[in-house]
Amino acid sequence: MKNYLKKQGKDQPILEIRNLKLDFHTYRGEVKALNGVDLKLYPEEVLALVGESGCGKSVTALAITGLLPENASIIEGEVLFKGENLLKKSKEEMREFRMSECAIVFQDPATYLNPVLKMETQLKEAILLNKEALKKAVIAEEKGEKIGYAEFLAMKANPNEVSVKDHRVSRRKIDKMAEKLIIDILKLVKLPDPERIIQSYPHELSGGMKQRTMIAMALARRPSIFLADEITTALDVTIQAQILHLLRELRKKIATSTLMITHDLSVAAEIADRIAVMYGGNVVEVTSTRKLFRKPLHPYTQLLLRAIPNILKPVERLESIPGTVPEMINPPPGCRFNPRCPFVMEVCKGERPKLEEVEEGHEVACYLYKR
Amino acid sequence: MKSHATCTNDEAKDEELLKVRNLKVWFPIKSGVIQRTIGYVKAVDGVDFDVVKGETLGIVGESGSGKTTLARSILRLVKPTSGEIYFKGINIVKANRRKMKEIRRHIQIIFQDPYASLDPRQTVSSILFEAMKIHGIVKSKSEALEKAVKLLETVGLSEEHLYRFPHEFSGGQRQRIAVARALAVNPTFLLLDEPTSFLDVSVQASVLNLLKDLQKDFNLTYLFITHNLAVVHHMSNRVAVMYLGKIVEIADKDSIYYDPKHPYTFQLMAAIPLPDPEAKKREVLLEGDVPSPINIPRGCRFHPRCRYATERCRKEEPQLLERDGRLVACHYEIDFPAEEVTGELTDE
Amino acid sequence: MSGQTVKTRKGEWEARLADIKYSLYLLRKNPLVMTGIAIAAFFIAVALLANVIVDPKLAYPEGYPGEMYPFDRKYMWNANHFIQWGPGISLYYGPEFFYLGTDSYGRDLLKMIILAIPLDLYYAVVITLIAAFFGTLLGAIAGYAGGVIDEIILRITDVFFAFPGLVLALVLASILERSLETLQLAIVLVWWPPYVRLMRGQVLSEKEKPYVEALRALGASHTRILFRHILLNSIFPIIVQATMDFGGVILTFSALMFLGFSPSPAIPELGNLAADGYGHIFDAPWVIIFPGLTMLIISLAFNLVGDGLRDVLDPRLRR
């Protein structure tokens, strides 16, 4: 994988998390949610961040996007985007980041869309932030040019091309242009009947349609990073298949790095290039999808794979992992998996093992593989 | 009558514990000042099946299929509109209050949401004691305590959990408490409504193992409802596929997956993400959205999304009939491309 | 065997104790609430000790021909004392020093207020409890049963909602005798409808929750579900409302006494005392100010306590 990337000149990660430690203040004590997370996201790849509840994958997403709640405090570590530490940025800068560089889609479309506004109003909100570019688009169209979303994006990128100040463009025209562009975006994902969709209220659309709309809106602005937090979890399996298919198709057209957060390893198998497995606030294994399934190294990954019912390889009893998910207020010392690990050694209870590359393209955080 | 709704293999001569005939559950839609009924949500629209003693029948479907309503109507948590449900000879649909209580001792249900199916103000002991009290299972407080401890141990918890509140437990543990509550009344039949959907994979595995063990130890019969096809394949002997309020196919679990005869079943199986990146990605997609049970298409319900639909499908609703060793509701015999059904296994 | 039973009880209590400890922790975080609690506690202490501090007979100096006051508790007074229509208003200086002055009957205002507090609090508690009890019961039945029963109860409640308290008190006072009990009845009749609404809303939402469905599947009877489960889960907003209502009831009660429903001008009750001072606002303003101020502070204190309780018991803020 690395060689392939090197050839493309893309062997530098676009997003890198280094040793991120994060705590939450609660009544019962400090919840040590992230315990030194290391993660690298390369350009144009799909990296799946997989883990069960409580492992910290959603918290990691919040840390990247600057949407952490009030009671979170960063103890240590960096989140580097194109070399800059996002954790040190101001709220304004993070907003800018979320608007232009990083697009996020969350799990349940019913909860993040405003139920009393039509889709049209909500979708326009984002596009209308680019007043200048919209003005230019209207002017260009009046001159006879054909303006589609691709052209609009180009105008967004070059702010000083056309002098806009002398022209007065009516609000209605800007509005109409925004609407046209949205329909264009929806057609991109082959949603049937986009005009009807934008006139609908959120509750009139199905979950699958809402998610597809949100994915379209997210990817349409060509972000550098697309963060998908459990986007198919709430959907039916046939709709999930549609969305995964959509993502695969869009990937060919839009070069974004995708961080796909999911608890479902099968979904990761369907769409990811690489998979990072998280447990107890750490990334414990990262490798290509194929290698993870064929040769999982970390004991947690191995047990996890044996716990999933697989139609193609049916078993009488599934293997479950003994014990329970660690209590994050008083987590076990050292490697947080040690109370449940079948291969536990004394050293595991001491210092936490770091994520290291033990084979080409395969990183593990486990003392079994330390040289 | 019997062979109409059961599999035609030797199991037909085993005892049927549950017989459902032409069950319909319609919810009226009211509108206007005087609340006229302007239509119906036909959640369950004519369902027939049997459950044989000791087996696990899986029911799968997506949203709008009616599987959850079906489960609730069996215990009359939702009132069936018409049809019959026979359990040990008693018609549940027409049973009076006393008979219903009797039935509720034999049929228990495990719900989907472990976080909300326990009263947050009750300790575990109170939950278990209450179950025993309602049906007069034990005669004294000490007997109840003894049984409660045994129940907890059966589900993998321990005595020290007796005096805790539900919010102190994890999702998987709460489901175990729900199972303990269900077992407290010594049931014979268990309805499992998405029991592991809210649970993590590793927890799900241990709960499913527990359920399998309990089935053996206590000779239970299961009706397992889920949208997770891998889980249903793991747990069931036979699987029924529901679409828009009707069963479109019932077959043994391997036939359903490897040799489906209904176009919807085929699409459903093709959509399952497999935990194997080498398995072929099936690009056959079911277009359109999961439909709503308010406006059910005429003729075959699936025809608007079926690529094999014909005139006949648009006009005539197919019956659930025996064919090829299972029950399927389709006018035609279709051979689905085999490699599109299963992924290929590659070796190391 | 008995050892086992003890263990059951103990375990149960320990669990609930931990619950209460958490609530107290949350309470301590809010300074406004703590102030309210402190003041309320202070007044309750005064109410309980009023008899010890002040000789109740002082309310009724020798020779008062009023009816025997039935409010006969050990820290209250005995009637059969007569009041002397004194020489007028005493001022701050005189043979004795009165911290808050005297009223127009020459009684020490401070001592009268101290005697008034238990009376007002007693009636506030009784009225609120009765109103809450009936309102909650009806609301629970209405919410759970639905249909016709719901409608009937709601309509009856609406009728009572529409009653203006003052008018109702007037009517009742003219039909029945004019006494503190009549006043209590009047206020209860006006005060119970909000509880019906409140409880009904709570029950309606609890009814839909999965654990209720689970109980029905278990075979639990409707009575059991309603009273042992739904009620207990819905009771907290009622408690909050009741606590805040103490203040409101005291004010209403006092207001009606002030307006003239008091059966006897001698009764030590905050509104009554204030009524006495009404005629002398410009000459001796303290007679109306201090009882009024007391009413205000008590009311405010209980309001804060109720507010604090609401914050503490709000499930979204817990855990």
What mean pLDDT comes out for the span B301-329? 88
Question: Between helices A237-253 and B263-271, what is the axis angle to 10°?
Answer: 60
Mean pLDDT over each residue of chain C, to the nearest integer: 76
Q: At B247, which helix (H) or strand (E)?
A: strand B246-252
Tell me which chain C residues have a C-beta less than 8 angstroms from the C-beta of B167: 319
Tell me which chain C residues have a C-beta less than 8 angstroms from the C-beta of B145: 4, 8
pLDDT band at A133 (very low <50, low <70, confident <90, very high): confident
Q: Mean pLDDT check: name the lowest of A161-165, A352-356, B290-294, C153-157.
A: A161-165
At residue C64, the pLDDT reads 47
Of A53, A289, A312, the CB nearest to B343: A312
Q: Given a cut of 90, is residue C258 above it in pLDDT?
A: no
DSSP state of B108: E
At residue B3, the pLDDT reads 35
Beta carbons of B202 and A314 less than 8 Å apart: no
Q: Given a cut of 70, is residue A318 above it in pLDDT?
A: yes
pLDDT band at B56 (very low <50, low <70, confident <90, very high): very high
> Distance from B152 to chain C by nearest Cα, in Å?
15
What mean pLDDT comes out for the span B217-239? 92
Beta carbons of B209 and A267 less than 8 Å apart: no
Q: Given a cut of 50, is residue B348 above it in pLDDT?
A: no
Interface contact A27, partner C, CB < 8 A: yes
Full strand arrangement of the beta sheet holding A84-85 = A29-41, A15-26, A72-81, A84-85
**Subunits with 3+ C-beta pairs closer than 8 A to C:** A, B
Q: Mean pLDDT check: name the lowest of A110-114, A214-218, C188-192.
A: A110-114
Q: Which of residues 185-224 of C touch B (CB under 8 A)?
A: 209-211, 213-221, 224
| Residue A27: closest C-alpha in chain C | C319
* DSSP β-ladder status, A225-229 and A257-262: parallel
> Distance from B79 to chain C by nearest Cα, in Å?
13
Tell me which chain C residues have a C-beta less than 8 angstroms from the C-beta of B143: none
Write the secondary structure of chain A as one string of H (helix), E (strand) and C (coil). CHHHHHHHCCCCCCEEEEEEEEEEEECCEEEEEEEEEEEEECCCCEEEEECCCCCCHHHHHHHHHCCCCCCEEEEEEEEEECCEEHHHCCHHHHHHHHHHCEEEECCCHHHHCCCCCCHHHHHHHHHCCCHHHHHHHHHHHHCCCCCCHHHHHHHHHCCCCCCCCCCCCCHHHHHHHHHHHHHHHHHHCCCCCHHHHHCCCHHHCCHHHHHHHHHHHHHHCCCCEEEEECCCCCCCHHHHHHHHHHHHHHHHHCCCEEEEEECCHHHHHHHCCEEEEEECCEEEEEEEHHHHHHCCCCHHHHHHHHHCCCCCCCCCCCCCCCCCCCCCCCCCCCCCCHHHCCCCCHHHHCCCCCCEEEECCEEECCHHHCC
Mean pLDDT over each residue of chain A, to the nearest integer: 85
pTM passes above 0.95: no
**A46, A238, A251, A305: best mutation site toward chain B, by most B Cβ within 10 Å?**
A238
Q: Given a cut of 80, is residue B147 above it in pLDDT?
A: yes
**A25, A26, A27: best mutation site toward chain C, by most C Cβ within 10 Å?**
A27
Q: Given a cut of 50, is residue B12 above it in pLDDT?
A: no
| Residue C29: closest C-alpha in chain A | A27
At residue B188, the pLDDT reads 92
What mean pLDDT comes out for the span B317-336? 86
pLDDT in tens, A33-69: 999 999 999 988 999 999 988 888 989 999 999 889 8
ipTM computed for the complex:
0.82
Higher pLDDT, A109 or A155: A109
At residue C94, the pLDDT reads 44
Interface contact B210, partner A, CB < 8 A: no
At residue A29, the pLDDT reads 81
At residue B281, the pLDDT reads 61
pLDDT in tens, C225-237: 888 888 888 888 8
Higher pLDDT, C248 or C172: C248
Phi then psi for C102, rounded to 5 degrees?
-125, 165
Q: Mean pLDDT check: name the lowest of A88-97, A333-342, C48-57.
A: C48-57
**C5, C7, C8: best mutation site toward chain B, by most B Cβ within 10 Å?**
C8
**How many residue pairs bridge chain A and chain C with CB atoms within 8 Å of each other?**
4
Q: At C31, which helix (H) or strand (E)?
A: helix C31-53
Beta carbons of C210 and B178 less than 8 Å apart: no
| Residue C318: closest C-alpha in chain B | B167
Side chain identity at residue A73, one-letter code: S
Tokens of B70: 């079906």
Tell me which chain A residues have a C-beta less than 8 angstroms from the C-beta of C25: 27
Beta carbons of B123 and C5 less than 8 Å apart: no
Beta carbons of A314 and B233 less than 8 Å apart: yes
Tell me which chain B residues have a C-beta less than 8 angstroms from the C-beta of A252: none
